[in-house]
Amino acid sequence: MSNIVDPLVAQIAVRVRTERERRRWTLAQLAGASGVSQAMISRIERGESSPTAVVLGKLSAAFQLSVASLLALAEGTPPEAGEAAGGAGVGRRAEAAEWRDPATGYRRRQITSPRFPAEIAEIRLPAGARVPYPAAAFAFVRQVVWVLDGRLTFHDGATVHELEAGDTIELGDPTDRIFANDSGAECRYAVVLARGTRP
């Protein structure tokens, strides 16, 4: 087995530890707030374990941040070339960092940088994958899901929406949600978040 640490895993480790320390929380306090074990949080912060999408959802909920916010700095941002002179910051697809959920194969690529007033991410959800998030992961943001390819079965609390390519859904008040791909082909969708009040 390789001892090389995935750069994104290392950056997520720093991001989680930074958010915890910024709140002056112990590992036990974060474990209590998130429902993630102290042992798992410790492994994540040391870069020894790549968190799943479910674990990231629980941690982001505890921090009262969106998953996108938690991952944005860890994933890197589009280059800043030209921004000093008021020019455009161009992000090349080949240079974009992509995070992969080790449990489901879900892949996420951040499209916008933290300097942009909205957060946009591209998600690729494999056939058969299901990713649940607690309600608190949707606090402090307004969010739109836009299906680009394939089919997404979206559980919005007790309501289930079958979304096809081109369909969108604007999310309301926070509730437990599940992103599911019950089809036999990959689903690709975009998540657009407007930043709200931060804790």
Q: 112-128 pLDDT, tens per residue?
A: 876 778 888 899 999 99
Maximum Cα interatomic distance, the chain, rounded to a whole number of Å: 49
φ, ψ (nearest 5 deg) of residue 146: -125, 110
Q: Which residue has the tokens 């836009």?
A: 146
pLDDT at 85: 41
As annotated, the residues of the chain forming the CATH 1.10.260.40 domain(s) are 7-74
- Adjacent-strand bridge partners of 164: 151
User: The whole model's pTM is what?
Assistant: 0.77
Across 50-59, 77-86, 164-173, the highest mean pLDDT is recorded for: 164-173
Distance in angstroms (rounded) separating the CA atoms of residues 178 and 57: 11
* pLDDT, tens digit, 9 for 90 and up, residues 86-107: 556 777 766 667 888 888 999 9
Q: Class assignment of domain 97-195? A: mainly beta
> Average pLDDT for residues 81-86, to the nearest whole number?
42
Write the single-letter amino acid at 95: E
Return the pLDDT at 2: 40
**CATH 2.60.120.10 boundaries in the chain:** 97-195
With a cut of 70, say whether residue 75 has pLDDT above it.
Answer: no
Fold adopted by 7-74: 434 Repressor (Amino-terminal Domain) (1.10.260)
Of 90, 87, 88, 60, nearest to 72 by C-alpha is 60
